[in-house]
Amino acid sequence: GSFSLTDDAALLAVPEHHKLVVTTDSVIEAVHVLPDATPEQYAMKLVRRNLSDLAAMGAKPWRYLLNIRIPRGTDRDWFVRFSQALLREQERFG
């Protein structure tokens, strides 16, 4: 569904008799997390913020969209820690 990552769109096939709820809340430094937030805190906030929106609508999580803007010079370790935290959140909340 990602068009081989050549575009910023996706085609999602929704199973018959189902509806698709899409949410993509951002997590912004100094607005939603403290300026010194860890990569793990960003990942947790990002996943849980969107899960909260889904739960409020009575929807179950199926897939997620990730929009990310990171300052230049952010080191590889930040991305590793962020990715590992995303994986833990996925496993925790299914």
**Three-class secondary structure assignment of 16-84:** CCCCCCCCCCCCCECCCECCCCCHHHHHHHHHHHHHHHHHHCCCCCCCCCCCCCCCCCCCHHHHHHHHH
Secondary structure letter of residue 8 according to DSSP: S
Q: Quick one: pLDDT at residue 4?
A: 62
Q: Quick one: pLDDT at residue 7?
A: 66
| Rounded Cα distance, 3 and 64, in Å | 16
> Between 88 and 15, where is the model more confident?
88
Q: Quick one: pLDDT at residue 3?
A: 52
| Rounded Cα distance, 39 and 83, in Å | 8
Q: Tens of pLDDT along 30-85?
A: 888 888 899 999 999 989 988 998 899 898 888 777 878 888 899 999 999 999 99
